[in-house]
């Protein structure tokens, strides 16, 4: 049975991301929204969505290092042999490295979750990202896992498309 608290957590995380105080840094930063599919052990797939605030931290010759404050929501799955029924939202903070010459994107963050499944079973959760960016569009592979700090530790691996504005 799905817990309503994870839907509430997703709405709360989105509200926090978009209700940050207005400032010059906020005006120059970028927001990113994305969606795609997430898979865990046994090829159990489900839709996922994400939102992030990516203010620039360091600008280099051919790259930009961004702070990343975001939330990823993974929808629960029904009728599976694993316990995957709950929706899970992971709010995370970290860094994202983006090449300006070839679009390579790499990221790492640490987060806390609302909801629990066999795939995402306890805090902290580590979020890794690899992909490419073309102007405002990105194609990203992401993985969320607790690094075996809690069992089970199946994790979620996702392929997502994202749009920055």
Reduced to 3 states (helix: H, G, I; strand: E, B; else coil), residue 150 is: coil
Say whether pLDDT at 22 is over 90: no
Say whether pLDDT at 52 is over 60: yes
Q: What letter would DSSP give residue 104?
A: E
pLDDT band at 26 (very low <50, low <70, confident <90, very high): very low
Say whether pLDDT at 12 is over 70: no
Mean pLDDT of 131-139: 95
Fold exhibited by the domain 4-18+31-164: Porin (2.40.160)
Q: Give residue-wise pLDDT tens across range 56-85.
A: 999 999 999 999 999 999 999 887 777 888
Reduced to 3 states (helix: H, G, I; strand: E, B; else coil), residue 141 is: strand
Report the DSSP pairing between strands 30-40 and 156-164: antiparallel
Q: Give residue-wise pLDDT tens across range 85-102.
A: 899 999 999 999 999 999
Say whether pLDDT at 30 is over 70: yes
Closest to 120 measured CA to CA, from 129, 128, 112: 112
């Amino acid at each position: 049975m799905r817990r309503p608290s994870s839907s509430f957590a997703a709405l709360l995380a989105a509200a926090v991301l978009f209700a940050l105080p207005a400032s010059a840094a906020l005006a120059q930063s970028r927001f990113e929204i994305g969606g795609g599919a997430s898979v865990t052990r046994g090829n159990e797939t489900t839709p996922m969505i994400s939102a992030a605030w990516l203010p620039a931290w360091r600008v280099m010759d051919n790259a930009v290092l961004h702070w990343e404050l975001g939330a990823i929501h993974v929808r629960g799955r029904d009728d599976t042999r694993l316990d995957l029924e709950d929706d899970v939202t992971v709010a995370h903070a970290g860094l994202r490295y983006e090449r300006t010459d070839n679009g390579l994107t790499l990221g790492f963050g640490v987060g806390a979750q609302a909801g629990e499944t066999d795939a995402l079973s306890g805090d902290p959760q580590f979020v890794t990202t690899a992909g490419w960016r073309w102007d405002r569009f990105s194609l990203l592979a992401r993985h969320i896992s607790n690094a075996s700090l809690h069992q089970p530790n199946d994790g979620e691996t996702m392929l997502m498309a994202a749009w920055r504005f």
